[in-house]
Amino acid sequence: MARISAGILLYRRREGILEVLLVHPGGPFFAHKDLGYWSIPKGEVDGTDVDYQVTARREFLEEVGHPVPPGPLIELGSIRQKGGKTVYAWGAEGDIDTATMRSNLIEWPLFLRSTPEVDRWVYFGPDEARRHIKETQIPLLDRLEAALSANGPAERTGARAPDAAR
């Protein structure tokens, strides 16, 4: 069965410039990898989640250490990553200090140790975000910019999994 993830693309405006929060994967395999390896905070759908927004909110909390800021979410649709995983995403406005962010730990059996799932959190402007994010996630940035320029995207609260994906 195809893997499905869900995540939140946090954004803020600083001096009129849009910035988005991207996370860098922790662990020894990613320690020296940078451009093209960053992602939105996201994770795999749990079979007990009633909708993909629940997954997105849970994974944001696990990878950032803060809940998704209150306010409307912007539905950004889905993308398919190179490995075949489908990622559903929502944009959320907020300004969380990266110095206060922390990640859950994951086990690396090969190295017999735990490591943070995320080791860095950075707000990037649109051009730098496109350089750092996984190539297949760039459409999420494009969709966020389009929604924000359309003046007031509608809130989507009932984001249930598509019937075909259940």
pLDDT of residue 1: 58
pLDDT of residue 42: 95
pLDDT of residue 75: 97
**Residue ranges for the chain with pLDDT beneath 50:** 152-166
pLDDT of residue 111: 60
Asked if residues 18 and 148 have their Cβ atoms less than 8 Å apart, the reply is yes
In sequence order, the 6+-apart residues with CB closer than 8 A to the CB of 23 are 38, 39, 40, 41, 63, 64, 103, 118, 120, 121
Strand 118-124 and strand 105-108: the pairing is unpaired
In the chain, the number of structural domains is 1
Q: In what helix (H) or strand (E) does residue 79 lie, and over which residues does it extend?
A: strand 73-80
**What is the pTM for the complete model shown?**
0.84
pLDDT of residue 22: 97
Q: Can you give the CATH number for the domain in which 92 is found?
A: 3.90.79.10
What's the domain range around 152? Answer: 4-165
| Spatial CA neighbour of 103 closest among 68, 134, 69, 60 | 60
pLDDT of residue 160: 37
